[in-house]
């Protein structure tokens, strides 16, 4: 995991990234009733805060120091650990639920799997959660701008493939058992939030880039083209993959 990808982006990330539906948290609580939860790659604590609605004992793990400062401020109820996903240093067999929201694609998957097996209780489960914007003309325009200036867009999923491929990978390769839960999670953005959300991506160019002003100008043009009454709606699906590993099954 490259721990520096979000250095300098913590504030804009915290302010503009979307949260997660209550239905996802209810699903995780009803399926696990976990006493201890570890939120790995917690970032600024957006998902950690959601977990606190149903879970009491939460540990948030984050390797990036910029993100960590926001995390400490946002989730004073949680134990904070500065560590990578693949080597958390957490207690062995201490957690009934491990979560990774909008973070799994940054991890070394096999090392993270081994770490989960080490820290999960025998019946423990790993939840991999993604906010996935649905395709639209607005997103096609937005992605073209990112491809032009940044070399990539967030149209990719786990490894550049569609959700069906992700599901097959997690079902057939990663987990021994899996449940999948979806919830609608639309995002409504004014211009400021749209620009902020765009800049929060790890691959977005920064203000010292010579193309930055043109990048922002084209984003603004896209917003004005598709906005209605100063707002753009971004339909979004939140998907939760809740899985068990054979090594911790009973």
* Domain membership flag for residue 150: no
**Range list of H helices, 52-186:** 65-74, 109-119, 137-150, 163-169
Domain ranges, residue 100 = 10-134+160-187+235-248
List the CATH number of the domain containing 96. Answer: 3.40.50.150
Residue 208 belongs to some domain of the structure: no
- Taking only the tens place, the pLDDT of each residue in 123-170 is 999 999 999 999 899 999 999 999 999 987 654 444 434 456 788 899
Q: What is the pLDDT of residue 160?
A: 39
Please tell me what DSSP assigns to residue 21.
Answer: -
Domain for residue 196, yes or no?
Answer: no
Spatial contact of 79 and 52, defined as CB atoms under 8 Å apart: no
Distance CA 82, CA 88 (A): 8
Q: Is 137 exposed, middle or buried (0-12, 13-18, 19+ CB in 10 A)?
A: exposed
**Residue 46: inside a domain, yes or no?**
yes
Q: Is 223 inside any structural domain?
A: no
CA distances from 228 to 150, 181, 188 (A): 27, 31, 11
pTM of the model: 0.90
> Is residue 41 a contact partner of residue 64, using CB atoms and an 8 Å limit?
no
What is the residue-averaged pLDDT of the chain? 91
Q: Does 139 reside within a domain?
A: no
How many domains does one find in the chain? Answer: 1
pLDDT tens column, 28-73:
999 999 999 999 999 999 999 999 999 999 999 999 999 999 999 9
Look at residue 128 and tell me if it is in a domain.
yes
What is the pLDDT, as a whole number, of residue 5?
67
């Amino acid at each position: 995991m490259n721990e520096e990808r979000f250095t300098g982006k913590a504030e804009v990330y915290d302010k503009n990234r979307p949260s997660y539906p209550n239905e996802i948290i209810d699903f995780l609580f009803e399926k696990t009733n976990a006493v201890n939860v570890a939120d790995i790659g917690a970032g600024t604590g957006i998902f950690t805060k959601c977990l606190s609605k149903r879970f009491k004992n939460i540990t948030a793990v984050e390797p990036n120091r910029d993100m960590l400062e926001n995390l400490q401020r946002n989730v004073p109820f949680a134990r904070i650990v500065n560590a990578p996903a693949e080597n958390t240093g957490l207690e062995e067999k201490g957690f009934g639920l491990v979560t990774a929201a909008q973070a799994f694609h940054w991890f070394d998957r096999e090392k993270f799997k081994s770490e989960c097996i080490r820290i999960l209780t025998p019946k423990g489960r790993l939840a991999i959660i993604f906010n996935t914007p649905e395709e639209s003309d607005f997103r096609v325009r937005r992605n073209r701008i990112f491809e032009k200036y940044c070399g990539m867009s967030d149209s990719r999923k786990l490894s550049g493939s569609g959700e069906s491929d992700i599901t097959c990978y997690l079902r057939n390769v990663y987990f021994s058992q899996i449940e999948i839960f979806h919830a609608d999670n639309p995002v409504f953005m004014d211009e400021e939030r749209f620009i902020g959300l765009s800049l929060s991506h790890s691959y977005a160019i920064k203000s010292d880039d010579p193309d930055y002003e043109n990048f922002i100008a084209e984003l603004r043009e896209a917003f004005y083209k598709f906005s209605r009454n100063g707002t753009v709606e971004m339909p979004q699906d939140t998907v939760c993959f809740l899985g068990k590993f054979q090594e911790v099954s009973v």
